[in-house]
Amino acid sequence: MNDQTREWVIIMNKTELLEIIRNGENSRVELKRDDVAPQSLAKEISALANLKGGYIILGVEDDGSVTGLIQKDIEEWVMNICSNNINPPIIPYFEIVLWETDKKIGVITIPEDSPDKPYKARQGSRWITFVRIGSTSREATREQEQRLYQASGMVRYDIKPVSGSTFSDLDIGRLINYFRDVRGQDCPEQNEIEQWETLLINTEIMVESRGRAIPVVGGILLFGKNPNHYLPQAGISAVAYRGKEKDYESIERGTIRGAIVVKFTPAHMLSFSPTNFVTLSDKDIVDRGLVERAVDFVRRNTGSKSYLVEGRRIDKPDYPEEVIRETIVNAIAHRDYTINGTDIEISIYFDRLEVISPGTLPNTITIERMKAGCRATRNELIKEVLRDYHYVEATGLGVPRKIIAGMLKHNNTEPDLIEEEYSFTVRLWREK
């Protein structure tokens, strides 16, 4: 027994185990007799590892009654299954808890941050990916398996080609802005399509497939003329409510659509540098991007308080614009775009502002690590382009430095960071 297992034995006492069994099976707990077939146990272990980990309690019936362990060398049997019937192999924690004088229970603990998703279980001659849905383990759909690959960093969805799209679906004006005005490099003339395609393939905005250049997901989202034509999930649903709860009556409802980045007047017509990009005046902007439209919505539907300081009136907004912008940009940059039909949500209430991003945190990232400044990304292309525009800072420390520190400085409130099964929420509090 290694040191980690000894530590877990101390944590998992009989009282805690009794509570787990009493609560029954759920998305993180499976109750099993220990005479199950190896492929059945492999299915449950892999499904829990593909979610957020959990416990398999051996020697317990589905109804919670304790029958105790029957098999000899139970730990070796479990470890052999984890090694031979799960791919890649997984090493869980295992312990035996004395239940009664003549009864013992086996506890398999699958860590929350299993890094090599998706884990597949051998079922006969096939290797199958299972996921945990409530208290059952089911074969993953294609989309669910794709999200697991993406969560582990093995697949980058934002550089996946968008079937049916062509160069003509990209906004050439935004591309010229990006290469010539933001990156400061030479780019082809507007009508030199082949040269543009070569440039975009080399910068991952397009990909070559069967002799054709096809825009990728990130390219369509960032620079597309109509991103929602190909990616219905590419947008923001925004609602401003009068009170503290969701209601049919609202101040304003809107569906925000369009390319992520702004389209602005060519650089030779204004004094432009990337460091002052976010303060471009309205006269310089030809077409507001998704970020600007979302910030505009929040600005329209939040207020300010007025104070007199040494005889001067000071207007203090409900939320600092830098925090609003950073929260929205993070949602756009890090949401899970494999989840179809679900927009980012902005909900403004009397006492708070919530931005809900589809998808859980990227693999190995937790809320505590995020607060500490741990960096990880789900959509590398999108993040890098937003960094070029100075929407995000180069350090990648926007959550602790801008969102948390910004709200503490503004009104001494700390934002709530909430991870749920299929979403991540940032909640900002208005000063009371």
Cα 405 to chain centroid, rounded: 22
Pick from 40, 56, 37: nearest CA to 94: 56
pLDDT at 277: 52
Work out the average pLDDT over 45-62.
Answer: 92
pLDDT at 3: 40
Q: Does the structure show a pLDDT above 70 at 138?
A: yes
Which amino acid, residue 207? V
Which amino acid, residue 121? A
Q: How far is Cα 246 from Cα 243, in angstroms, rounded to an integer?
A: 8
Same domain, 112 and 58: yes
CATH code: domain of residue 406: 3.30.565.60
Residue 145 lies inside a defined structural domain of this protein: no
Work out the average pLDDT over 328-353.
Answer: 93
Q: Which residue has the tokens 């960093």?
A: 153
Contact between residue 377 and residue 385 where contact means Cβ atoms under 8 Å apart: no
SS3 content of the chain, % helix, strand, coil (to 5): 35, 25, 40
For residue 131, what pLDDT band results from cuts at 50, 70 and 90? very high
Q: Which of 203-217, 314-328, 394-408, 412-426 has the lowest mean pLDDT?
A: 394-408
- 327 phi/psi in degrees, rounded to 5: -65, -45
For residue 318, what pLDDT band results from cuts at 50, 70 and 90? very high
- The region, left, alpha or beta by phi > 0 then psi within -120 to 50, assigned to residue 62 is alpha
- Domain range for 347 is 236-429
Q: Does the structure show a pLDDT above 70 at 274?
A: no
Same domain, 201 and 119: no
Residue 147 lies inside a defined structural domain of this protein: no
Same domain, 270 and 361: yes
For residue 341, what pLDDT band results from cuts at 50, 70 and 90? confident
DSSP H helical ranges for 266-372: 290-300, 321-334, 367-372
Residue 148 lies inside a defined structural domain of this protein: no
Same domain, 273 and 318: yes
- At 160-208, the pLDDT tens digits run 999 889 999 999 999 999 999 889 899 999 999 999 999 999 999 999 9
Residue 314 lies inside a defined structural domain of this protein: yes
Contact between residue 54 and residue 47 where contact means Cβ atoms under 8 Å apart: no
Same domain, 17 and 87: yes
Q: Does the structure show a pLDDT above 80 at 272?
A: no
Q: Does the structure show a pLDDT above 90 at 42?
A: yes
The two most distant CA atoms of the chain are separated, in Å, by: 85
Same domain, 282 and 346: yes
Pick from 134, 131, 32, 20: nearest CA to 78: 32
- At 354-398, the pLDDT tens digits run 999 998 887 667 888 888 877 777 899 999 999 998 888 766 678
140, 171, 193 - which closes a domain: 140
Residue 65 lies inside a defined structural domain of this protein: yes
pLDDT at 191: 92
Q: How far is Cα 241 from Cα 247, in angstroms, rounded to an integer?
A: 7
Residue 146 lies inside a defined structural domain of this protein: no
200, 229, 258 - which closes a domain: 229
pLDDT at 153: 65
DSSP H helical ranges for 130-183: 142-151, 172-176
Same domain, 192 and 244: no
Buried b (16+ CB within 10 A) or exposed e, 380-409: ebbbbbbbbbebbeeeebbbeebbbebbee
Same domain, 133 and 113: yes
Residue 116 lies inside a defined structural domain of this protein: yes
Pairing between β-strand 252-256 and β-strand 263-264 as defined by DSSP bridges: unpaired
Same domain, 330 and 256: yes
Q: Does the structure show a pLDDT above 90 at 116?
A: no
Same domain, 189 and 100: no
Neighbour tally for 47: CB within 10 Å: 25
pLDDT at 7: 38
- At 204-233, the pLDDT tens digits run 999 998 789 999 999 999 999 999 999 999
Q: What percent of the chain has pLDDT over 90?
A: 58
Please tell me the total count of domains within the chain. 3
Q: Which of 2-16, 156-170, 236-250 has the lowest mean pLDDT?
A: 2-16
Considering the chain, what is the average pLDDT of its residues? 87
CATH code: domain of residue 51: 3.30.950.30
- At 117-129, the pLDDT tens digits run 889 999 999 999 9
Q: Does the structure show a pLDDT above 60 at 271?
A: no
Same domain, 267 and 377: yes
Residue 402 lies inside a defined structural domain of this protein: yes
For residue 316, what pLDDT band results from cuts at 50, 70 and 90? confident
Which amino acid, residue 2? N
209, 229, 249 - which closes a domain: 229
Q: How far is Cα 196 from Cα 344, in angstroms, rounded to an integer?
A: 31
Same domain, 242 and 314: yes
pLDDT at 162: 92
